Structure formats: C-alpha cells, structure tokens
Amino acid sequence: MITLKEIKEGKARLLIPDPSTYSKDGKFDPSWAPIFYNPRMVLNRDISVVITKLAKVRRALDAFTASGVRGIRYALEGGVEEVSFNDRNVEALQLAQKNAELNQVKGKFLNLDARAAMLEGKYDFIDVDPFGTPAPFLVDSTWAIKRNGILGITATDLTALEGAAPKACRRKYGALNEGLTPSKEVGLRILVGSLIKSAAIAERTIEPLLCYYSDHYIRLFVKVISGAKRADGGLESLGCVAECPSCLYAVTSDQPIRTCPRCGGRMKVAGPLWLGRLNEPSLLGQILKEANSLELPSIGRIVSLMTKLEKEIVYIYRRLDKLSSIAHVSMPSRDKFYECLRGIGREVTATHFDQRGFKTNATYEEIISCLRSQS
Ligand SMILES: C[S@@+](CC[C@H](N)C(=O)[O-])C[C@H]1O[C@@H](n2cnc3c(N)ncnc32)[C@H](O)[C@@H]1O
Ligand SMILES: [Zn+2]
C-alpha cells in the first residue's frame, strides 16, 4: 500500500506519495517514492498549462503521467477537452485515475509504453516528460502528432547534452560535443537539432515556440509542421559552433572549424545543432498575459523568465567571467561593459541561460577591447 498525502497544485487537488514515508535520513528525493511527483517542476507545468490554453489544444496526451498532475491541470486550467493519461507503471496509472476522479476530470487511461500511446490517437499536444533523456521518444512523437500540433519535451540528461558525457551525447543525439563554455545553450540547441533530424524522417520539421533552460532541465515547446521541402530546410539550418579553449574566440558555421583563426589553437566543436531563433517573439507577451489571468503558483518566476527571454537575441551566449580572465582583467561592471558595446553600435543582452553570460553581435575583438577599456 502506498501512503498518500493530499496537496494542491494550481486548481488541481492531488494525492501523491507522502514524502515523509519515503524520506531517508531526513532527506527526500522524488525518485525514492513509488510514484513520481516533483514539486520543483511546478514552473514547467505552469508554463505548459499556459501553452495548452493559448494554443487552444483540444486533444492532449500526457504520455508520462505519473500522478496525473499534468493532464488534470491541462483539463482544469488549460481548457483541454480530451486528455489521455499514459504511464507504463500500472500503480501510477491507477493513481492518475483516482486523481482525475477527485477533480472530476474525465479522460482515457492507457497503460502502454509512451511510444505506443503516441500512436494510439491523433493528438494536438503531446507532453514528453520522461526520466532523463527524451531521445528514444523524439521520432515517434514527431511522427504521431497531428499536423501543426505542439510537443512539450523535457530533458534532464544534462551531462550528455552539455558535453560532460560526450559519448552519451553522440549516442543519444548524434552530435559531437567537446564541452564549450556556453554549455547550457549548446545542450538545448543540440536537443532542438536532434528533434529536427527525427522529424525529418517523417518529412516533417519543427518550429521552436518556446525553449528554455531552468533549474536542472531543458524544456522545449515546438510546433510540428509537415512537408519534405520544409524538412530539408530544417536540416539545412543545422550547423556547428566552435570555441578556442586558449583564447575563447568562437564562431558558428555550416561545417566544423578546427583551427582557431586568431591563435592557431585547436577549437572545441559542438554540432550538429540548431542555429536559429529559440522563441516565437509574439508568444512571450501572450504567455505573460495569460499567466497573470490564470493565477499560477509560479507566476513570479514566469514573469522573470519571459522578461529575460523577450530581451534575448539569437547569438549563442558568451561567459563574461571566462572572457575577462582571458583578457587578463577583473570582471567589469555589467552596465559599463554593455554601455561600451552599445556605444560602438552593438546589441548586448543578459541571458536566462547563465547569470555569468551575455549575448551580443559584437566581434571577438570588440568584446576584448570593451573588457580592457573598463579595467
Ligand atoms: C518524470 S516522471 C513524470 C512526471 C510527471 N509528468 C509530472 O509532471 O509529475 C516519468 C514517468 O514516466 C513513466 N515512464 C518512464 N518510461 C516510460 C515509457 N517508456 N513509457 C511510459 N511511461 C514511462 C514512469 O513510470 C514515470 O511515472
Ligand atoms: Zn584561439
């Protein structure tokens, strides 16, 4: 018998495994309970609720449902008409069913491998929220979803994506990743690139709607569009990023650049990865507006994230701390450094990826010169 406890998240009442029963030495990790529920993922779920509402999703598949929290919230708060709940763990599915009843949410309950569940119906939203890597589910989710449908994908296997485990990155995402300083954005862009390669098999491709990095996960919302030509276009927009570990010169290109044009050192390379925009600019303001009207539990964090994303430009971020050390200067005040770059007509913004990062269209020489002029 699983000991349960009732909680509230958004408008949902939920029975979840009682953390006090499953903690060890006063500590608790959600993976120690027989059914998974992580309160720290509320931002991820809140934003997903907003997306289902804004996209007017009718049929959603919560493919990795566990307690049922997502599907229930999509029905109660996201206005989704038909929710299918799936989990291969039968105890989890039973709990999801119990929780759905508690909230008077009707739905279909499937006890299948997520890939089989995706192929069961024509969904206009599929939530892919597995443990660790979403890689095994990319082909089937892009294949099964309705034309112009939306995928919400979570990845927590950041050692592979960020390049700390390069062999795993190659196996799971077919990408080389030698560990560059903007590792968080590189990881996210490798995941988007891998999704584009997966979708291309079904003569489809994806358009990023909202892609972000938070806590210890990456979350993507993408629209899946059909057509062989579009699929080709998606593949052609993949490229590489190279960074010289000695002088931190960095460059994006179609093919890997191995030799640093500045110092002749061997560049570290990551790719193939997506080099285009990560968000649909008009959507960010709409998310803010909708999130406010829905009274979501993590509204403060949503406002902070969307405000940062609205300002971000497409260029892969650079690390202010690392570049200052290469330039042999102490880290300047951000305002003064930005003022210098803007003074020479360049764009510069902070980034949600990393507090130590910034994004700019300035050249390497301009960055170094602005760093030196501040010291
Ligand atoms: C990270 S938890 C999901 C958490 C949930 N979406 C939430 O927001 O609270 C992953 C769930 O997926 C289930 N699962 C893992 N692999 C699966 C697979 N291949 N097919 C179906 N379910 C799977 C696990 O039993 C687990 O309940
Ligand atoms: Zn160099």
pLDDT tens digits for range 160-175 = 999 999 999 999 999 9
> Residue 266 Cα, ligand 2 centroid: separation in angstroms?
7
C-beta 48 within 6 A of ligand 1? no
Residue 101 has which token pair?
């009843």
Is 375 a residue whose pLDDT tops 90?
no
Whether the predicted pLDDT of 40 surpasses 80: yes
Average confidence (pLDDT) over 155-159:
98
CA distance linking residue 61 with residue 121, whole number of Å: 9
Does the CB atom of residue 93 touch ligand 1 within 6 A? no
Pair of tokens at residue 226: 């059909």
Q: Which fold has domain 37-235?
A: Rossmann fold (3.40.50)
At 26 the pLDDT is 86
Tokens of 210: 């909202």
Residue 98 Cβ contacting ligand 1 at under 6 Å: no
- Helix, strand or coil for residue 261? coil
Look at the domain 317-375 and name its fold.
Phenylalanyl-tRNA Synthetase; Chain B, domain 1 (3.30.56)
Tell how far the Cα of 119 is from the centroid of ligand 1, in angstroms: 17
b/e code 278-293 from CB counts within 10 Å (16+ = b): bbbeebbeebbebbee
**By alpha-carbon position, which residue is closest to atom 16 of ligand 1?**
130
Residue with tokens 């009707």: 106
Q: Band the pLDDT of 287: cuts 50, 70, 90.
A: very high
Q: Is 177 in a helix, a strand, or coil? A: strand
Max CA-CA distance within the chain? Answer: 67
Percent of the chain, pLDDT > 70?
100
From the alpha carbon of 35, which atom of ligand 1 is closest?
Answer: 27
Q: 336-369: per-residue pLDDT in tens?
A: 999 999 999 999 999 999 999 999 999 999 999 9
pLDDT confidence band for 51 (50 / 70 / 90): very high
Task: Write out the residues surrounding ion ligand 2, Cβ under 5 A.
Answer: 244, 246-247, 249, 260, 262-263, 265
Give tens-digit pLDDT for 91-111. Answer: 999 999 999 999 999 999 999
Structure pTM? 0.98
**Stretch 61-88: mean pLDDT:** 98
Which residue type occupies 235? L
Residue 76 CA to residue 107 CA, distance in Å, equals 12
pLDDT value of position 303: 96
Structure tokens given for 250: 């960095």
Mean predicted confidence (pLDDT) in 175-202 = 98
**Domains 37-235 and 317-375 in one fold:** no
CA 157 to centroid of ligand 1, rounded, Å = 15
- The predicted model gives 23-27 an average pLDDT of 89
In the chain, where are the structural domains located? 37-235, 317-375
State the pLDDT at residue 1. Answer: 85
Tell me which residue of 164, 175, 79, 191 sits closest to 125, measured CA to CA: 79
For residues 284 and 29, the answer to whether their CB atoms sit within 8 Å is no
What are φ and ψ of residue 134, in 5° steps? -90, 0
